[in-house]
Amino acid sequence: MTISVCVRILSSIVLYLVLNRIGRRRSYFIAVVCFSIITLLTIPVQRFMLKNSEGKLNFVFLIIRYVAFCYIEQEIVIFIMNILLKFFAVSSYTTIYIYSNELFPTGIRNTGMGLCSIVARNVFLFQYIILYSNFNQ
């Protein structure tokens, strides 16, 4: 819980520093693309990385092993992925919240932000179900 709050604060600070330099569209695009890539990387982590591997990694993660010079277990990789997903999700949501205020009139903006908020919360909850679905098997 504490790490999640720290990631949210760090994301807001980084977004504050980056937003006016590279623009709202570009920063939103970068956040969404990074979020999508990390979400798609959950499939190989779940499928090809052994649970409780104790240093024995499959072919997909040999590069990570040589870069990090250490043995990485599945739980650690999933934890890091969760932190990165939280960072990019908060960044994209904050950017859209700021950008929509400048783009749409009030009536349309309220309806759109309410709908986007509902979808974003459900997708974020669904992400945890996907990540931790194979742990109890």
Question: Tell me, what's the pLDDT at 29?
Answer: 93
* pTM tops 0.85, yes or no: no
Question: Tell me, what's the pLDDT at 136?
Answer: 58
Show pLDDT as tens, one digit a residue, over the chain (137 residues): 688 888 989 998 998 899 889 988 899 999 999 999 998 888 777 776 655 554 454 555 555 555 554 556 677 778 888 899 999 999 998 888 888 788 888 888 888 888 878 888 888 888 777 777 765 55
CB 27 within 8 A of CB 19: yes
